[in-house]
């Protein structure tokens, strides 16, 4: 058996495992995001002999980043969890999604997502609260409002713009 305390699970055998549970206030947004991802052809689970190409709560390890890379938002250094990491057919990261609560402006996560993307070598970023979504190609401009997520194929085409 185990006892849950905050973000740690203490098993009766003495083993403590750190966890990161999604914010329950983000749950509704995440359900909507999951549906939009599936509509765009992303797989949250292995299916029909194909591996899942979405990694949830992907850990981003600490690494040294210059202050100029983070701008004025030094609290957002890449040391945490990416909400969704989208993978190509070789299981390499191609995009990430930073999810926020439905009542939070997704653009509030812009600098946090930029730091995570740079840490992972990813150029495509989505910001979403389940209702409002932005696509951002870090190599060409600012986030743009979108009505649906891009598929893996569309992300490849986006690099040609």
Encode pLDDT of 47-104 as tens digits.
Answer: 999 999 999 976 665 454 444 444 444 344 446 788 999 999 999 999 999 999 999 9
The Cα–Cα gap between 41 and 54 comes to 11
pLDDT on residue 6: 45
In this model, does residue 3 exceed pLDDT 80?
no
pLDDT on residue 57: 78
74 vs 108, which has greater pLDDT? 108
pLDDT on residue 21: 56
Tell me which DSSP letter residue 105 carries: -
Torsion of CA 26, 127, 87, 48, to 10 degrees: 50
Q: What are phi and psi of 10, to 5 degrees?
A: -100, 110
- List the one residue out of 45, 40, 29 whose CA is nearest residue 109: 29
Here the tokens at position 157 are 């085409």
Tokens 């951002």: give the residue: 136
Res. 14 pLDDT band, cuts 50 70 90: very low
Mean pLDDT of the 27-32 span: 91
Tokens 């999810």: give the residue: 99
| pTM metric for this prediction | 0.73
Beta-strand relationship, 16-18 and 54-60 = unpaired
Beta-strand relationship, 144-146 and 54-60 = unpaired
Least-confidence region, from 23-37, 50-64, 103-117, 141-155:
50-64
The answer to whether residues 26 and 104 touch, using CB atoms and an 8 Å cutoff, is: no
Q: By three-state DSSP, how is residue 94 classified?
A: strand
Handedness of CA 124, 43, 78, 6 (dihedral sign): positive
pLDDT on residue 141: 87
The answer to whether residues 74 and 57 touch, using CB atoms and an 8 Å cutoff, is: no
Res. 39 pLDDT band, cuts 50 70 90: very high
């Amino acid at each position: 058996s185990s006892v849950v305390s905050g973000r740690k699970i203490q098993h009766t055998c003495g083993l403590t495992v750190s966890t990161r549970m999604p914010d329950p206030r983000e749950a509704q947004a995440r359900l909507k995001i999951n549906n939009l991802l599936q509509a765009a052809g992303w797989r949250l689970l292995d299916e029909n002999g194909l591996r899942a190409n979405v990694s949830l709560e992907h850990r981003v390890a600490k690494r040294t980043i210059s202050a100029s890379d983070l701008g004025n938002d030094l609290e957002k250094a890449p040391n945490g969890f990416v909400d969704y990491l989208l993978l190509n057919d070789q299981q390499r990261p191609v995009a990430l999604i930073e999810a926020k609560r439905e009542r939070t402006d997704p653009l509030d996560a812009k600098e946090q997502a930029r730091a995570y993307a740079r840490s992972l070598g990813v150029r495509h970023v989505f910001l979403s609260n389940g209702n409002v979504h932005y696509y951002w190609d870090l190599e060409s401009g600012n986030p743009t409002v979108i009505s649906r997520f891009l598929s893996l194929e569309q992300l490849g085409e986006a690099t040609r713009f």
